[in-house]
């Protein structure tokens, strides 16, 4: 007690202050503390939710980026495959076209050759026929001039004999 006196502490005032403090504490607790705590709690929740959302967004963003990268990679792969297929197809078409054109050329060449051969053969036949006709005319002229009358008579009699045998 002596010590309290020495420090200037008045028990009555201290008691009063304690009572005031308790009253104020009661009032605060009764009317303000709950709301403040509620607000703090709400804010804390919102902050936590915001943080969670941010994490979620970040996670989704990462996933989206990953998916985008995956899609892009797949698209590139698909594009590459399509490009390769197109190149291969184009090469095949070009090869086929070359083959077809070569075959057509060979066929045309064969047809032309056979046509030339046929024409050549026809010309040979015509020349042969012309030559034979010419020879025939020459033979007739030559024999007509060189054969004597008596020889012609003999040949004619032989021909009549031949015809007589043939007549049915």
Partner 1 sequence: MNKKNINNIAKTLFKKSITDGLVDENKVRVILKELTSIRPVGLTTILKTYKRLLLEKLSFEEVILETNDRITLQKNYVDEIKKKTGAVRINNQTNQQIVFGAKITHGDWIYDDTLESKLDQIVKA
Residues that bind partner 1 (CB under 8 A): 129, 132-133, 136, 139-140, 143-144, 147, 149, 151-153, 155-157, 159-164, 166-168
Distance in Å, CB of 134 to partner 1, minimum: 10
DSSP code of residue 88: H
Rounded CA separation 124/130 (Å): 10
- Give 12 or 164: the residue with its C-beta nearer to partner 1: 164
- What residues contact 147, with CB distance under 8 A and at least 6 apart? 155
CB 116, min distance to partner 1, A: 26
DSSP state of 147: S
Q: Which is nearer to partner 1, 88 or 140 (CB)?
A: 140
Residue 34 to residue 150: CA distance in whole angstroms: 167
Q: Taking the complex as a whole, how short is the minimal distance between the CB of residue 164 and partner 1, in angstroms?
A: 5
Q: For residues 103 and 131, which CB has a smaller minimum distance to partner 1 in the complex?
A: 131
Q: How far apart are CA 91 and CA 144, in angstroms?
A: 78
Q: Closest separation between CB of residue 146 and partner 1, Å?
A: 10
Task: Return d(Cα 14, Cα 18) in angstroms, integer.
Answer: 6
Nearer to partner 1 (CB atom), residue 115 or residue 124? 124
């Amino acid at each position: 007690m002596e010590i309290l006196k020495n420090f200037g502490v008045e028990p009555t005032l201290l008691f009063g202050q304690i009572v005031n403090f308790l009253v104020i504490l009661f009032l605060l607790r009764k009317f303000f503390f709950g709301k403040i705590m509620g607000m703090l709690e709400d804010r804390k929740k919102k902050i936590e939710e915001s943080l969670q959302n941010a994490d979620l967004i970040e996670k989704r963003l990462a996933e989206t980026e990953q998916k985008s990268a995956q899609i892009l990679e797949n698209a590139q792969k698909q594009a590459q495959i399509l490009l390769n297929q197109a190149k291969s197809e184009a090469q095949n078409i070009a090869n086929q076209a070359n083959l077809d054109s070569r075959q057509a050329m060979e066929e045309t060449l064969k047809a032309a050759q056979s046509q030339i051969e046929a024409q050549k053969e026809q010309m040979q036949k015509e020349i042969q026929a012309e030559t034979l006709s010419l020879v025939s005319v020459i033979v007739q002229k030559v024999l007509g001039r060189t054969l004597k009358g008596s020889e012609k008579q003999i040949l004619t009699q032989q021909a009549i004999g031949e015809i007589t045998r043939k007549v049915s």
